[in-house]
Chains A and B, each alone.
Chain A
Amino acid sequence: MTLPPKVRLVGRRLLQAAPALAGIIIITFVLTRALPGDPAVYFAGPAADEASIAEIRKQLGLDRSLPVQFVSYLRDLATGNLGTSISTGQPVLTEIVTRLPASLELTLTALLLAIAVAVPLGVLAATRPDSWVDHLCRFVVTAGVSLPTFFTGLALVYLFYYLLGWAPPPMGRLDILFLPPDRVTGFYTIDSLLAGDISAFGSALAHLALPAVTLALFTLAPIARMTRAAMLQVLGSDFIRTARAAGLSRRTVLFGYALRNAMLPVITTLGMVFSFALGANVLVEKVFAWPGIGSYAIEALVVSDYAAVQGFVLAMALLFVALNLLIDVIYTLVDPRLQLEE
């Protein structure tokens, strides 16, 4: 092979994701078959008789053996057919494609906010242990994990919408006056900019602000804590002493040497935080009436809408695999020591 080693390495990591994908497909299949209740009965509706239920069962292919069902499930997946939601009547794929970007936009914005605050805070706290910055860091971390998101969300709404009137009403992603921008990425902020619609962008941003801050406050804690711990550990290591003894400036030592090494565990933490934030933002979505995938999944679960649940599980699992892959690849590119491990 003549490919450069880094490309080969990334390729290998991509291949390693394949078994995980296969596992997810099998598990979603088995899981939905194992759920209690007969989907045919739900589909047929309350007024159906035995014959029409059997008819629907046949339509859904549920009368066939599991291996046969699995093959047709695979065929459906390959053509992008995730079935139809019984509660909304919409194809599951369409729902996911509109709702997932909403959740992603919220989560990513929150995460970027959290990183922008948590990493500098952690670095400052580590370089000045027991100073006021360190105490601030400790306070923020404790507050961030101990205040539930629905509480911070409601408190922010109360303060910024009800009392101050700075924020728009906590209802969805845009003011009612605006039409959603043309769909490119599904992120309203980006799409409205692409469409050149500044006022829609402003509205999208305003609607995004409070839920993103709510979620950011929650995700900030582990990132700040991990940054602080990793920085403290790296700053105490031998090579930092060498760098100082060689007369490298404080800035080079701190950012060029210490922070880069400390970033490795922080990147891992980011991956985990992102995963749980995607799951944990259900409450935020509820508080702000955000049309995300979390609230969709909760509603589907409540009414045993099995196609929707299956679609949700599949989408989230794929997302997590992609995310872990990304973290792995970043890690491989940052840490030269991993490149020899073959």
Chain B
Amino acid sequence: MMNAIPLLDIRDLTVEFATRNGAVTAIERVSFAIGKGETVGVVGESGSGKSVTSYAVMRILDRAGRIAGGSIVFGGIGIDKAPEKVMTELRGREMSMVFQNPRAALNPIRAIGRQIEDVLIEHALAVRATAKKAAIEILRTVKIANPEERYHAYPFELSGGMCQRVVIAIALACRPQLLIADEPTTGLDVTTQKTVMDLMVELTRERGMSSLLITHDLGLAAAYCDRIVVMEKGKVVEQARTDSLFADPTHPYTKRLLRATPRLDSQIRDLLPEPRPAPAILPRGEPLLEIRDMVKEFPARNGSAAFRAVDGISFTVHQGESLGLVGESGCGKSTTSAMVMRLLDPTSGAIRFDGTDIAAIPAGRFARSPERGKLQMVFQDPTDSLNPRWSAFDSIADPMYRLAGMRRAEAREKIESLARLVGLPIDLLDRFPHQLSGGQKARVGIARAIALDPKLLILDEPTAALDVSVQAVVLNLLADLKVELGMSYLFISHDLNVVRLICDRVMVMRQGRIIEEGETESVLRAPADAYTRTLLEAIPHPPGHSTVHARPEPVA
């Protein structure tokens, strides 16, 4: 699909950031091109420089950042040194951008219709009198129902998916030639991700536009891109057509990345760079957690009707078992975990944990209950769930001080053994969260959760904020710890690929109800419910083998 003259041609682009310790090179000698009508994916993990590359193209780098070398040619014009005035005309008009976290990407106190108008008027595609009609038309193009009404809506009144459509509407309002999408669906539900991506592809294809998709998700890049550029630590390590990249990756980093990305037929050990024997399977024991007809109703407030977040669910977690709870945002899975954790009081229903009805203990008093130590939680965001002013040691020690009444001196030995168990180097124990990497923080969170030898661990999207290679390691660690310590897991996730790897059984939740439940393999292979099927189909998968290096068995 590459035309003779590419629309965007980046050569040896180097970007530096001025910091207190001198200039830091964010990307170094990055070169790639995008042909007319072509979709190119840039994939890489955090810190790979993929976003910086796109900001450099748009020339919207932070004040501290500057293009230190190389050239960017767009439509035959060199733009790496173009004056701001020229860039203002190009941005939005010829090249535009869609961002991660759509709600924050919109002006919170301006009606969305007005925000689209602003762009149209700025680029002289409308005047005040005609702008409203044009903006409504554009809202219709991005498939927003009732565009006349939605024109007046504010971002906080719309769902994440709707906000992203508005951001796309702003980006495409002036029919640019290039659309840069920077993690456009990260944080959105899988089904929303699919509709947003499909919409973007439909519109760009219809208009013969080129696009640059920046993502950490290889599956997404595989599903939507003609060509893929792989970046690592500010450098392009490999670029190839999508099919050949997946069939025959050449760079070791690409191989590692491909391995770490869960596929339809991956086993948990396949994700690791080094092969290891599969984790042992614990025999299913007695019921440990039994939930019966649990309901959470939030009372009616000011005209809005009472809302049943959890609508009579029952399930059982047996000893040594891991049960997955899957659903999209708003389905009630977080409310469920908060009730099991006894942070919220259920409206009705029973929660039997290890022989005690813990639903009878009020949420406010559960923290002092002897049962509390047997039930622990690992949270989604490893950064936000650690106290920024506590060292790793203090974070891990906290439950030991509070629930086991240990002193610092007693705790030290135990904490060091915990750190060894979760693979956290002992000398990192005195560091604060901002001095640790994402994976290390996740390990601290896990060490804190297992400090009191809990029987049940609630894992709330424990790897959602991690890079795939770190996710692979953390998932394997969780699988090992479970066997080693004989724990049971309640694993909450929106990512069926991850649930597949770690859970024996899975429940699918929607609108407060469990709509399907069963052995993971059978539910995922032959879903009985239409919604489960929709969820499964919405997940983009990397094509080809489950493992990159040669394996005797044929492609699944």
Contact = CB atoms under 8 A, between A and B. Distances in A.
Given A248-B122, A250-B84, A261-B109, 15 more contacts: A129-B63, A238-B104, A238-B105, A239-B105, A239-B107, A244-B60, A245-B92, A245-B97, A246-B97, A246-B118, A246-B119, A247-B92, A247-B93, A247-B96, A335-B109
5 contacts: A238-B99, A239-B107, A244-B91, A248-B118, A342-B303
A242 B167 contact: yes
A249 B89 CA distance: 9
B224 to A, nearest CB: 20
A244 B302 CA distance: 39
A337 B108 contact: yes
Interface residues of A, number: 26
A336 B155 CA distance: 10
A238 to B, nearest CB: 4
Contact of A337 (B89, B99, B118, B154): B154
A260 B90 contact: no
B383 interface: no
B108 A261 contact: yes
B401 interface: no
Nearest to B60: A244
Contacts of A241: 60, 99, 105
Interface in B472-528: none
A336 B157 CA distance: 10
A334 interface: yes
A291 B157 CA distance: 52
Given A245-B96, A247-B93, A334 B122 contact: no
A257 interface: yes
A250 B106 contact: no
Interface of A: 129, 237-239, 241-250, 252, 256-257, 260-261, 264, 334-337, 340, 342
Closest 5 CB pairs of A and B: A247-B92, A247-B91, A245-B97, A238-B104, A246-B92
Interface in B294-341: 301-303
Contacts of A248: 88, 92, 118-119, 122
B123 interface: yes
A238 B58 CA distance: 15
B108 A239 contact: yes
Interface size class of B (residues with CB under 8 A): 35 or more
A245 B91 contact: yes
B390 interface: no
Contact of B171 (A244, A246, A250): A246
Interface of B: 58, 60, 63, 84, 88-93, 96-97, 99, 101, 104-111, 118-119, 122-123, 154, 156-157, 167, 170-171, 173-174, 301-303
A333 to B, nearest CB: 11
Query: Could you say which of B89, B101, B110 has the most chain A C-beta atoms within 10 Å of its C-beta?
Result: B110
A248 B63 CA distance: 18
A265 to B, nearest CB: 13
Contacts of A257: 107, 110
B208 to A, nearest CB: 20
A260 B109 contact: yes
A335 B154 CA distance: 10
Contacts of B89: 247
Given A239-B104, A245-B97, A250 B88 contact: yes
A256 B99 contact: no
Nearest to A130: B63
A336 B105 contact: no
Contacts of B99: 238, 241-242, 245
Nearest to B152: A336
Given A239-B107, A245-B60, A337 B91 contact: no
B92 A242 contact: no
B96 A246 contact: yes
Contacts of A337: 108-109, 154, 156
A129 B171 CA distance: 29
A142 B245 CA distance: 60
Nearest to B63: A129
